Amino acid sequence: NAGVTQTPKFRVLKTGQSMTLLCAQDMNHEYMYWYRQDPGMGLRLIHYSVGEGTTAKGEVPDGYNVSRLKKQNFLLGLESAAPSQTSVYFCASSTGSGVTDTQYFGPGTRLTVL
Amino acid sequence: AQSVTQLDSHVSVSEGTPVLLRCNYSSSYSPSLFWYVQHPNKGLQLLLKYTSAATLVKGINGFEAEFKKSETSFHLTKPSAHMSDAAEYFCVVSGTYKYIFGTGTRLKVLA
C-alpha cells in the first residue's frame, strides 16, 4: 500500500515549457487535490476533483489545468510555465469531502521555472 | 468562512523542555481542526485531528492539542521535546472540499 505517490520528485523547466505532474493513489479515494506550497504562505489549493471525470477550481487555479480520467490518478498540467510557478506541489486524497475527512498527502514535487 | 492563524512563525526550545505551538481559528460553523507535521524535504504527515468529540485530542509521537471554543484556539503541545521533533507544523481548519492552512510554525530543538 503505497498511499499517495507523485511523479516526478524534481523538475527544472524553462519559461514557456510545458509539463504534467502525475499523482496516483491506491486507497480508492474519491476526492483528490492539488496544492502548491510557497515560503511563508502555507499550502494553497489549485484544483480538486470529487470523482472520476470531474474537476473544479480551487483558490489559485490560473495557469494550471487538471484531468481525472481514472479514479486513482490526478494530473496537473502547466501549459506555459512561468517563474511564478516555481513552487513545491503536493497532491492529496480523501475518502470524502466532509469537514471531518482526513486528507493524505504525497511526498511533493519541487518545480523550478527559470 | 474559515481561517486559521498560527501565532508564531518560529519557535525554539531545548531538548527535554515543553513545546507549545499556537493556533487560533475562525469558523462560521463547528470546525474540524488538524495539525500536520512536515519534516525537511518531506510530505505532510497527520499528527492529530479534532472533529467535535473529545476536546483534548492525543496524536502521534506524544503530541496533543486542546480545542477551546471560547478562545477559538487549538494549540499543539508536547511535554518534552526531542531532536526529531524539529520540523514545520501546520494548523488546518477544514471546509467543504478543501483545507485552509495556516502559514506554518518552524520548530527548532536545541541540544
The percentage of chain B sitting over the pLDDT mark of 90, rounded to a whole number, equals: 77
- Local confidence band at A101 (pLDDT 50, 70, 90 cut-offs): confident
pLDDT at residue B42 greater than cutoff 90: no
Sign of CA dihedral B56, A44, B21, A103: positive
Closest CB to A105: pick one of B44, B52, B95.
B44
Query: Is B9 near chain A, with CB under 8 Å?
Result: yes
pLDDT tens digits, residue range A53-65?
999 999 999 999 9
**Are the Cβ atoms of A31 and B97 closer than 8 angstroms?**
yes
Query: Is B3 near chain A, with CB under 8 Å?
Result: no
How many angstroms separate the CA atoms of B46 and B49, rounded?
8
How many angstroms separate the CA atoms of B39 and B106, rounded?
10
pLDDT for the residue numbered A99: 67
pLDDT for the residue numbered B35: 97
pLDDT at residue B94 greater than cutoff 90: no
Sign of CA dihedral A104, A110, B2, B3: positive
pLDDT at residue A10 greater than cutoff 90: yes
Query: Is B54 near chain A, with CB under 8 Å?
Result: no
Query: Is A44 near chain B, with CB under 8 Å?
Result: yes
pLDDT tens digits, residue range A14-45?
999 999 999 999 999 999 999 999 988 889 99
For each of the domains in chain B, give its residue range(s) and CATH number, in order of start: 3-94+101-110 (2.60.40.10)
